[in-house]
């Protein structure tokens, strides 16, 4: 993080004086700052709710509208200064739980991304209206927007992967909808810049789609939160069941096999009693991350309740289901959960899990039957000494 922060400062100072600043540029900067203030004050309530709902989830904000418009309208030095002002004002007025090193890192990534996008824009000389006057200019503008997004988002995802290893990087990218709205904000910033040069009195009208995008974000995040277990980030039982029903219906039409794996952490109550519920929550997250990392991206992992998890393996026969379950059991036994000093310190290790599996169509042809069969196998593993895998037998053949 420090390397990126220092690079952003050094790069900004090196390029800040490359373009001269005129009186009209200060007026344009003041206009953009005014728009930013109106935007922040209007959306502050929405963004604070999003900040709470988005805890532990990708958080795409829309202040890039103003910083990208500034990159197109202003000399590079003022455009970079606008990035700093944007982050500072957003931090002061929106964030309820500011984490300074994260905010400075986010600002640093935008500064670096803005310089990269400016380099792309310089492929066509002249002002903004000259740059976008033809199809080549449009391509350069699109390339600049994509460059800004890729550098900014790439650096953020890279740091998330470093700070929270264990989950494949592609699961850290955020949803396609988030990406589309983030790119839409940059496109709106480009439109805002053109309007500011041609008909500035229309600028207030562009605040309407900005607020609409804020509302769309909020609805999307509430919908995501309603389907996500807050402690582990996995699908909750209802969302997992919906996905399992859809996959089962598909296999009934086209043919194929799937497996259900139920996982129960052994002696979880003893962990809570010994270390406290906050450490127990950390154990749940560690097991959830292990399950998620050990299955394929299109397999469904959910928290069933308490210390129980459930996994749906698509297109998997009984042998593959059993092999996967055994691998999950082994990986859970290798988990080591570091306890924060404020919670007593130390390491929780020696975890074990009892696992039951059931296969479609061998054990049952409906989801309830598969769940009952896997649950029965799970209890057989518990009664058999724990820390083992039991597979539900095929149902009797009907005559």
Average pLDDT score over the chain: 83
DSSP 8-state assignment for residue 351? -
Dihedrals phi, psi of 395, to nearest 5 degrees: -70, 155
Give yes or no for residue 11 having a pLDDT over 60.
yes
DSSP 8-state assignment for residue 59? -
**pLDDT at residue 56 in the model:** 44
**Bridge partners for 308 per DSSP:** 264, 305
**pLDDT at residue 322 in the model:** 93
Q: What's the token pair of residue 188?
A: 């709106």
Q: What's the token pair of residue 63?
A: 């202040």
The whole-angstrom separation of Cα 359 and Cα 314 is 10
pLDDT greater at residue 374 or residue 345:
374
The whole-angstrom separation of Cα 77 and Cα 66 is 15
Identify whether the C-beta of residue 289 lies closer than 8 Å to the C-beta of residue 379: no
**pLDDT at residue 399 in the model:** 43
**pLDDT at residue 92 in the model:** 84
Q: Which residues are catalytic?
A: 307
For 93-150, write each residue's pLDDT tens digit.
877 556 788 889 989 999 999 999 999 988 887 777 767 777 888 888 899 999 999 9
**pLDDT at residue 57 in the model:** 47
**pLDDT at residue 55 in the model:** 47
Give yes or no for residue 155 having a pLDDT over 50.
yes
């Amino acid at each position: 993080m420090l390397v990126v922060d220092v690079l952003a400062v050094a790069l900004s100072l090196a390029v800040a004086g490359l373009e001269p600043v005129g009186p009209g540029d200060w007026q344009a900067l003041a206009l953009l700052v005014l728009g930013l203030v109106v935007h922040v004050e209007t959306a502050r309530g929405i963004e604070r709710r999003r900040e709470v709902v988005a805890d532990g989830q990708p958080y795409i904000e829309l202040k890039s509208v103003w910083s990208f418009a500034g990159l197109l309208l202003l000399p590079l030095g003022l455009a970079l200064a606008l990035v700093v002002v944007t982050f500072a004002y957003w931090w002061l007025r929106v964030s309820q739980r500011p984490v300074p090193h994260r905010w400075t890192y986010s600002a640093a990534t935008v500064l670096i991304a803005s310089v990269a996008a400016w380099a792309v824009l310089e492929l066509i000389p002249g002002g903004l209206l000259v740059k976008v006057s033809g199809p080549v200019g449009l391509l350069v503008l699109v390339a600049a927007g994509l460059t800004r997004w890729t550098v900014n988002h790439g650096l953020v995802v890279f740091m998330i992967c470093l700070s929270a290893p264990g989950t494949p990087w592609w699961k850290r990218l955020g949803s396609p909808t988030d990406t589309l709205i983030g790119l839409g904000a940059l496109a709106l910033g480009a439109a805002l810049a053109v309007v500011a040069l041609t008909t500035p009195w229309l600028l207030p009208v562009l605040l309407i789609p900005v607020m609409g995008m804020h509302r769309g974000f909020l609805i999307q995040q509430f919908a995501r939160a309603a389907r996500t277990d807050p402690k582990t980030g996995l699908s909750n039982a209802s969302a997992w069941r919906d996905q399992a029903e859809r996959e089962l219906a598909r296999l009934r039409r086209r043919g194929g096999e799937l497996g259900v794996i139920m996982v129960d952490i052994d002696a979880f109550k003893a962990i809570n009693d010994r270390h406290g519920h906050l450490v127990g929550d950390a154990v749940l997250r560690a097991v959830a991350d292990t399950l998620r990392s050990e299955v394929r991206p299109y397999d469904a992992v959910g928290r069933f309740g308490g210390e129980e998890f459930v996994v749906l393996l698509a297109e998997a026969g009984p042998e593959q289901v059993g092999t996967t379950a055994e691998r999950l059991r082994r990986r859970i036994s290798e988990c080591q959960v570091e306890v924060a000093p404020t919670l007593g310190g130390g390491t929780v290790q020696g975890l074990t899990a009892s696992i039951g599996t059931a296969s479609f169509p061998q054990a049952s042809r409906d989801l309830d039957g598969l769940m009952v069969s896997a649950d029965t196998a799970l209890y057989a593993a518990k009664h058999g000494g724990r820390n083992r895998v039991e597979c539900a037998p095929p149902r009797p053949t009907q005559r």
